[in-house]
Amino acid sequence: MEKVSLKQKFDSLDEAWVPKIVGELNGQFVKLVKFEGEYVWHRHESENELFLVLKGEVTICLRDSAVELREGEFFIVPRGIEHKPVARHPAHVLLFEPASTRNTGNVRHQYTIEPDNLQRI
């Protein structure tokens, strides 16, 4: 058992939109991701997805609305709901989701990383 320094972990991240695993519990991964720019529209058919903004601001675009998140705020996208994260400036985000969740859900994209290929830091 070790404590985790989110600051140190984020300092080690170089690329935007590349999630890294920092913890695992009860079949769930805790992931850190730097957001910058626009992601891809996608949905997760079987999984809910939690976005917790630790630094910066993020917009979770939904087809009929948008959720603005500031530091210390989170939003859970329910399974099956199409969404697209956007960060106009670099942001640090913690994701909490089942270990089987593919980052781009139902879409194949240049950002796609299969769950088995996720790196632990």
Q: Identify the band that residue 49 occupies on the pLDDT scale cut at 50, 70 and 90.
A: very high
pLDDT tens, position by position, 24-40: 999 999 999 999 999 99
As a whole number, the mean pLDDT across the chain is 95
The answer to whether the beta carbons of residues 31 and 120 sit under 8 Å apart is no
The token pair that represents 89 in the structure block? 């400036």
Residues 2, 4: Cα–Cα separation, whole Å: 6
- Put simply, whether the predicted model's pTM sits higher than 0.85 gets the answer yes
Q: Which fold has domain 6-120?
A: Jelly Rolls (2.60.120)
